[in-house]
Amino acid sequence: MFTKAFTPTNGPKAIGPYSPAVKLGDFVYLSGQLPIDPLTNELVDNDIVKQTTQVLENIKSLLAEMGLEMRHILKTTVFLSDLANFQAMNEVYGSYFSDPYPARSAVQVAALPKQALIEIECLVIDTLAYEQAACSSGCCDGDCEGGCCEG
């Protein structure tokens, strides 16, 4: 099979018959991540700032297990139970990314699992092999952090 599933060892467990992440070639598809505390496997406080932070920490942790970082995220879809929470979510979300930001959609939905306020899914590309090859060829001038060969 060409796909590989990833289940986090330090993250929340799936609450259904799905893989938290599936890799096909260089592409990684992250299932919607909920604001579940990986230590308790329970939803964090009913606060959009805390829930957004937990979701992004869960994403960060899942990516780290694959050797990837937030900068590898190309696209996110943010599901909110109430668009009135958009501004607060956006402030937290913005602190986890830098330019160039991933493409993003944000939508209000009728309900989310476990009555969560937010869920985020991601499309990720694993560029590590390309970055290492570029750095080996010398195009990075020795600076391979955060990608190289820009400009």
Q: 61-87 pLDDT, tens per residue?
A: 999 999 999 999 999 999 999 999 999
Check the CA dihedral 140-144-149-151 and report its sign: negative
Q: What is the pLDDT of residue 2?
A: 85
34 has pLDDT over 70 = yes
Domain ranges of the chain: 3-128
Lowest-confidence pick of 50-59, 114-123, 133-142: 133-142
DSSP 96-116: T--SSPPEEEEEE-S--GGG-
Mean pLDDT of the chain: 90
Supply 114's token pair: 């476990």
CATH fold of 3-128 reads 60s Ribosomal Protein L30; Chain: A; (3.30.1330)
The rounded distance, in Å, linking the Cα atoms of 87 and 111 is 19
Do the Cβ atoms of 69 and 56 come closer than 8 Å? no
pLDDT, tens digit (0-9, with 9 covering 90-100), for 52-66:
999 999 999 999 999
Rounded to two decimals, the pTM is 0.88
103 has pLDDT over 80 = yes
The rounded distance, in Å, linking the Cα atoms of 22 and 54 is 21
Do the Cβ atoms of 82 and 108 come closer than 8 Å? yes
